[in-house]
Structure 1
Amino acid sequence: MRGARPPWKGAGRRRGEGEWEEWGEEEGGGGGVRAWVAVDAAGEARVAELGRQAVMRRTGLPARDLRILDPQLSYPSTVLGRERAIVVGLEHIKTIITAHEVLLLNHRDPAVEPFVRELQRRLRHRHQQQECEIEKGKDDEDISARGSRALPFEFIALEACLEAACTCLENEAAVLEKEAHPALDKLTSKISTLNLEHVRQIKSRLVAITGRVQKVRDELEHLLDDDDDMAEMYLTDKMMQQHLSEEASHSSLNDQSEGIDEDRMRAEISSEENDAPRMYEDELQNVVNDNSPHGPCLFNVESHRTNTYSTKSSNKHLDVQELEMLLEAYFVQIDSTLNKLTTLREYVDDTEDYINIMLDDKQNHLLQMGVMLTTATLIVSAFVALVGIFGMNIQIDLFDEKKAGMPEFLWTVGGSAAGSIILYVIAVTWCKRRRLLE
């Protein structure tokens, strides 16, 4: 039975129906061309054939960051904040998040399809909320105030990635826990080769899942410990600050040109009214100095440096409390999963210790039985030696029919058997006194 088709499959759908829109062009340029799914801020998914150079130009990422997303290479769980993008490599989620779109590489993976649908649902809900706020006719201040409280685009996408990865690991841990407890209980009740093999497979899976969960937890802990890395993930704020700095530089240029025109007009009016050639020459000299290539350029350079420095300092001192709260929630979730796996690992270790104790106890019983059998064999050997002595062809009174009969024979055999039993009891008693036997 075929499952439901993912939202980016099924060509021929209109974009108004909420389906994907295919990009006709192929952007190559260096490296193999691969199929990427791009989800925009409105929640619309589109498929594009992009090469490595095209992705690098689109996201501003270096080639070493793109290698983290290569499904053919094995990289640990990683969340990297860059200037224009966030690189997320968590379990089956391999994506690039920018300020306005999300790029997914392994979109054909069945495990990724639910993530794409959930991401689209969240982005569409956010987009609908923004449209409703605009349609209600609220003023700009109210809209900006409400928008500041809402999560930016990159954090919504990052939250979807973290939730998908943490939920996947949590589900795998829950399934493993349900399989492990009955298998361990069955092994404690009956030790067999089949039960031991089943527990061995469960332990191998437990070690693998624990390592994966530990890597995700370490990555989140590393991000929470480094405010600079978290500040790099504020892509929307950095883009807005860059836009504001550009507008400030343009406004400074306009103000400067307007100031030059006003000074020029004042100089001309003053020269006409006072008819003072000297003042006219001075004002003209000032205008010439203002129009020289050094004055305004120096002012523009200083203004640009000031704006650039203020932008960098503001980026450096971003308030990361919003992202920190988001990461802490999933850190608690993944830490809880790790604690469950640790508890299960301890239960497996306790079961192994119990099995080893049981096996040692059985081995001790076997050794005790071996001691008793060896002692009995020694006593029987002594009795056999006595029988061998009587089987020799010798002439003694016991073999004379006139002097010895059946009573003597019975006393000899019975006495030897009784003596052997007495020796065996003495040997066992001595072993117990020495605590060699229970």
Structure 2
Amino acid sequence: MRASSFRRLHPKPDDEPDPTPQIPNPNLPALIRKKGTGVRPWLLIDSTGQAQVVEAGKHSIMRKTGLPARDLRILDPLLSSPSTILGREKAIVINLEHIKAIITAQAVWLLNSRDPLVTPFVEELQRRLLRLHHATKAKEAGANGNDTSWTNSYVLEEPRSAEASPINLSGGFPQAQEADEEGEAHGKQGIENRDGLKVLPFEFIALEACIEAACSCLESEARTLEQEAHLALDKLTSKISTLNLERVRQIKSRLVAITGRVQKVRDELEHLLDDDEDMAEMFLTDKMVQQFDNSLVSSSNGKDMDDSHGTHTSTTHSVINKQLDVEELEMLLEAYFVQIDGTLNKLSTLREYVEDTEDYINIMLDDKQNNLLQMGVMLTTATLVMTASIVATGMLSININIELFNIGTMRDWLRIVGGSAAAILTLYMIAIAWAKHKRLLE
């Protein structure tokens, strides 16, 4: 019996030490690292344009953004997900080309910030957010008499007091504080005062930057491909060679790939424009403001928020979606829809040009093939008549005694050769005329 079986049948008492030495697992650090593979570096950009790298796992991102796990899988770089723009209750999920981001009402979570293609986007987003921050501060100073209690929270048309913020959607830049009655009154007055300068909310600024970066990247690739395609097709038209054909084949493969990518982005924007409810989900700041106002009304009426939280949340969510006006977001999306549609039309025109060039090349190849066939017919005809002459010469060279050989002279021999050549030429011309009559030759 093996020792391991004996130990299972006869367990040792608790006080007996185990003689087997405990060897530490050398793979323990690797197992720990494998267990924490869900932790990824996120670039967190706040409403003032400041950026910092945050190591966060999936569950941490879910708590801070309010997103379910299935929405986070869209941003997984290991999975191949189509172009997607999702509006949720507290965040917007964007997966467009190299842009993989989560937008809340106060921050942007960017996943692949180390990608060289993302660096220009981050710089542009920071510039826009900084301009928005300065514009909001200037507007607050003009509308509220340099009230220093206002901070950098955004609504569609008027800035809102950070002291009135009910929740911290960004998870990395806490701004929620308890507001007294005087501060709440100032915040509500600022929200209702909508006669001043119109300022886009934070989430729309970030959303526009993401869509613009994706559309600009696709348009730049399409423009570069168009230039390379025209150059390669012109070379192929002037000279048909294996190298030129291979270049055109590679360009056509790239054209098919980029057309599919552009088509996906266009379809996603078209889907958003056709569904007002999806666009209403993206008004994160307005929903936050209205939820806070509703909570203030409920608190003033003495309602128990704990007992009716689920019903109140669903009712508020439906009321918010009905009240939000999506016209401004629709105009923003339509501008980039026109841009991406123009890029798609440009690629379609390029594809037609490639197909026309292929047809032209096929016509040229068919013409050359016809010329080769005609040459083959002519050579075959010449071979036929030459064969007849060879047969006649062979018959005359047979070693038999005939009177023609005895009385023939050199002049007679030249007459025979000349007559044979004339007969061969005559037969050849007759054969070529018959082929042209039957339209076998041009």
**TM-score scaled to structure 1, two decimals?**
0.79
Residues 1:434 and 2:438 aligned together? yes
- How far off is 1:133 after superposition? 1.8
Instruction: Quote the Cα distance in structure 2 between the aligned partners of 1:423 and 1:95.
Output: 83
CA distance in 2, matches of 1:114, 1:143: 37
Fraction of identical pairs, as percent: 63
1:309 is displaced (CA, Å) by: 2.8
Q: Is structure 2 residue 286 aligned with structure 1 residue 237?
A: yes
Asked if the contact 2:287/2:320 (under 8 Å) is kept, the reply is: no
**Is 1:225 aligned to 2:274, yes or no?**
yes
Choose from 32, 41, 55 the match for 1:49: 55
**1:375 aligned partner:** 381
User: Are the structure 2 counterparts of residues 239 and 178 from structure 1 closer, same or farther at C-alpha, using a change threshold of 3 Å?
Assistant: same
Q: Which runs of 5+ in 2 are unaligned?
A: 1-33, 146-188
**Aligned pairs for 1:410-421 within 5 A:** 410-421=414-425
Q: For 1:275-305, what per-residue CA distance to the aligned partner results, in whole angstroms no more than 9, with x for missing partners?
A: xxxxxxxxxxxxxxxxxxxxx87x9979995
Match 1:130 to one of 136, 151, 155 = 136
> Within 2, Cα distance between the matches of 1:172 and 1:100?
32
CA–CA distance in structure 2, aligned partners of residues 314 and 416 of structure 1: 105
- Relative to 1, partners in 2 of residues 1:304 and 1:361: Cα closer, same or farther, differing over 3 Å? closer
Aligned to 1:201: 250
Rounded Cα–Cα distance in structure 1 between residues aligned with 2:283 and 2:439: 74
SS of structure 2 residue aligned to 1:88: strand
4+ residue runs of structure 1 moved beyond 2 angstroms? 28-31, 134-144, 146-149, 299-311
The answer to which structure has the higher helix fraction is 1
Does residue 313 in structure 1 map to residue 362 in structure 2?
no
User: For the residues of structure 2 that align with 1:339 and 1:433, how far apart are their CA atoms?
Assistant: 49
1:404 maps to 2:404 = no
Q: How does 1:214-363 map to 2 (within 5 A)?
A: 214-253=263-302, 309=315, 311-363=317-369
Indicate yes or no: 2:392 matched with 1:393: no
| Superposition map of 1:68-83 within 5 A | 68-83=74-89
Per the TM alignment, residue 136 of structure 1 is displaced from its structure 2 partner at its CA by 3.1
Write the letter of the residue equivalent to 2:415: W
Contact 1:173 1:337 in 2 (8 A): yes
Encode CA deviations 1:307-334: one digit per residue, 9 max, x unaligned. Answer: 8635522323421111110100000000
Residue 35 (structure 1) aligned with residue 84 (structure 2): no
Cα distance in 2 between the residues matched to 1:67 and 1:311:
25
Q: Are positions 1:155 and 2:159 aligned together? A: no
Q: Residues 247, 220 of structure 1: CA spacing in aligned structure 2 closer, same or farther, 3 A cutoff?
A: same
More displaced stretch, 337-346 vs 197-206:
197-206
C-alpha distance 111-146 of structure 1, shift in aligned 2 (>3 A): farther
In 2: Cα distance, 1:134 partner to 1:227 partner: 31
* CA contact 2:106–2:202 (8 Å) conserved in 1: yes
What secondary structure is seen at the aligned counterpart in 2 of 1:136? Answer: helix
SS of the equivalent of 2:44 reads: strand
The total of aligned residue pairs comes to 366
For 1:176 and 1:33, the matched residues in 2 are separated by 38
**8 A Cα contact 2:277 2:321, kept in partner:** no
Distance 2:300 2:35 in 1: 39
Is the CA contact 1:86–1:233 (under 8 Å) kept in the aligned structure 2? yes
Q: CA deviation at 1:85?
A: 0.7
Change (3 A) 1:147 1:37: farther
Gapped runs of 5+ residues in structure 1? Answer: 1-27, 254-295
How is 1:156-175 mapped onto 2 (pairs within 5 angstroms)? 156-175=205-224
Aligned-pair CA distance for 1:407? 2.1
CA distance in 1, matches of 2:425, 2:317: 101
Partner of 1:145: 194
Over residues 82-118 of structure 1, what are the superposed CA-to-partner deviations in whole Å (9 max), with x where a residue is unaligned?
1111100000000000111100000000100110111
Q: Distance in 1 between matches of 2:135 and 2:372?
A: 76
Counterpart position of 2:68:
62
- TM-score (normalizing by structure 2): 0.79
- Pair 1:179-2:228 in alignment: yes
Q: Deviations over 1:198-220 (max 9, x none)?
A: 11111111111111111100110
Q: CA-atom RMSD, angstroms?
A: 2.3
CA–CA distance in 2 between the matches of 1:302 and 1:67?
Answer: 32
Q: 1:210 to 1:146 in 2, by over 3 A?
A: farther
How big is each residue's C-alpha offset from its partner over 1:41-85, in whole Å with a ceiling of 9 and x where there is no partner?
111111100001101111111111111111122111111111111
Aligned to 2:106: 100
Inter-partner Cα distance in structure 1 for 2:42 and 2:104? 14
Secondary structure of 2:128's counterpart equals helix
Asked whether the 8 Å contact 1:398–1:408 carries over to 2, the reply is no
- Contact 2:136–2:199 (Cα < 8 Å) also in 1: no
* SS of equivalent residue, structure 2 residue 288: helix
Provide the C-alpha distance between the structure 1 equivalents of 2:41 and 2:52, rounded to a whole number of angstroms: 10
Q: Does the CA-based 8 Å contact 1:29-1:53 persist in structure 2?
A: no
8 Å Cα contact 1:84/1:99 also seen in 2: yes
The 1:83/1:75 distance shift into structure 2, 3 A limit, reads: same
